[in-house]
Structure 1
């Protein structure tokens, strides 16, 4: 068994606590989401400095449509205004943007912002940030299975075949998934990829995250022994 790398090649982050951060300050929930975006930028810069190659952020789940119309509308506006609007930041730090999720069900303006950002950053090589938008792990698996069946009628599906049918097959499976705000569940995030992922949960609310939190994650990862079903 190979030694565990010094840092995760692919880190997944469930960003939680934006609303609670705002409520603690008697601010609207939207203020928490805006601060959460600032935290994302701090985290991705430190992740790049630590040598993490890929980082997936859980931005908006398939279940988040159940939130108030006002909050959902604000989040869609934030995606349109900030996704491509942060292009100078991505280019400065060599950040490539990819997106996974049910993109064709998003508002047209969000789809356009995604397409423009993915295209504009395609040659960046320092770190790849995958944004999970309108994303659900179960939905992703179902769509991959249906795609395989449509393209391979009558054939049995295998684990390797399903891996190839999943979105972004060129991206390595996640090594570690972390969550903020002391919530201890995956919430339908990267269900296929996370079969052998390390898990860690932290109390700090997402808008308060900074470089020190990424450093803590990397230190904790170094303490883990990854067996992948074998023995040490």
Structure 2
């Protein structure tokens, strides 16, 4: 595989419910199996030299789902990390979370914070979970912060540029994604990293997330390598 590996890959993990339905299983079974795909893809991304993997685990809109499904989804980080954290530590993976802690149950926040704390000195792949994340809320909160600084006199309106916006996003300490992957055949961004994905390559597959393997990740990366990223200019 050539050297041109995307530094930051973001994934909208979609299709857990439909995967389960096709097998006559409850939707939660799809979410549970999808957890195994998170592990597979994390290890594979780490092995090929991807630096950041952002997984869209739960959006600000997902609260509209049935309560039992939401409750199950909120237990998954705890279960995933209790099983996988030691191996992630061995692999030098650093766990992060991007999202809003309000509304998240204490046990979910606690599991994530423990993983973040235990892996904070790791220097390998950054596994960034987008939990209770929504890009529109992120932008609104960012614009509010910028407006406050203008009111306080610590920022001048003419000094606002792309870097100013970037520095007020939840992902301010990460590079923008080079590649976005969305599974299950849907072709929309679903309120995910709208500012950050401005120049990202997009790769869609019909494969449901629980079936997504290392091979599919490689397909996406190879497709990324075939494309020419022009950022609005000519090459």
- Aligned partners of 1:105 and 1:160: how far apart in 2? 30
Q: TM-score, normalised by structure 1?
A: 0.94
Q: Where has structure 1 moved over 4 Å in runs of 4 or more?
A: none
Between Structure 1 and Structure 2, how many residues are aligned?
229
- Alignment-derived partner of residue 134 in structure 1: 132
- Aligned partners of 2:224 and 2:161: how far apart in 1? 31
- Alignment-derived partner of residue 120 in structure 2: 122
* Match for residue 180 of structure 1 among 180, 183, 186: 183
Q: Which runs of 5+ in 1 are unaligned?
A: none
Q: Residues 39 and 207 of structure 1 are in contact (CA less than 8 Å); yes or no, is this contact kept in structure 2?
A: yes
SS in 1 for 2:38: helix
User: Counterparts in 2 of 1:36-47, with a 5 A limit?
Assistant: 36-47=34-45
CA displacement at 1:36 relative to structure 2: 0.3
SS in 1 for 2:129: strand
Q: Residues 21 and 32 of structure 1 are in contact (CA less than 8 Å); yes or no, is this contact kept in structure 2?
A: yes
**After the TM superposition, which of the residue ranges 156-165 and 45-54 deviates more from structure 2?**
156-165
Q: Residues 56 and 129 of structure 1 are in contact (CA less than 8 Å); yes or no, is this contact kept in structure 2?
A: yes
- Aligned partners of 2:197 and 2:183: how far apart in 1? 17
- Aligned partners of 1:101 and 1:203: how far apart in 2? 27
User: Counterparts in 2 of 1:10-159, with a 5 A limit?
Assistant: 10-153=8-151, 155-156=156-157, 157-159=160-162
**After the TM superposition, which of the residue ranges 153-162 and 123-132 deviates more from structure 2?**
153-162
Q: Which runs of 5+ in 2 are unaligned?
A: none
Q: What root-mean-square deviation, in Å, do the aligned CA atoms of Structure 1 and Structure 2 show?
A: 1.5
- Aligned partners of 1:147 and 1:118: how far apart in 2? 25
CA displacement at 1:83 relative to structure 2: 3.3
